[in-house]
Amino acid sequence: MGLSGCGMLHPEDYPTDTAKLPKATSNPAKISKATFRHSWNLTVDHGTVYCKLNSAGDPILYFTAPNGTEYALNSVTGNGGRPNIEDIADGSVGPIRSFAFSVCDVK
């Protein structure tokens, strides 16, 4: 079976400067496009991630944009009034959500 190139991806299709995702050192934690690089899919270039526990002990994860708008990173009691982070995303926000959980681990 030969590969004629149909549907094949080339190395130039993959970024080589992807940063290793940071681990949170504070709660709240400031994040930016400069730190997340190709993993950053938000339409703003920086913001702050917060983690608080609700009355059931579940993590309330949210992102505050530079204009002060708070966006829910997860769907738990306590995030109900915030718009969803996908409202300001152009692609997956998985790396930012993963980072947000590390914010919860900061004591």
10-65 pLDDT, tens digit each: 444 444 444 567 788 899 999 999 989 888 999 999 999 999 999 999 999 999 99
Q: What is the pTM of this model?
A: 0.80
User: Are 64 and 77 within 8 A, CB to CB?
Assistant: no
pLDDT per residue as tens digits for the range 51-94: 999 999 999 999 999 999 999 999 999 998 999 999 999 999 99
Domain boundaries, the chain: 22-104
CA-closest candidate to residue 64, choices 73, 56, 55: 73
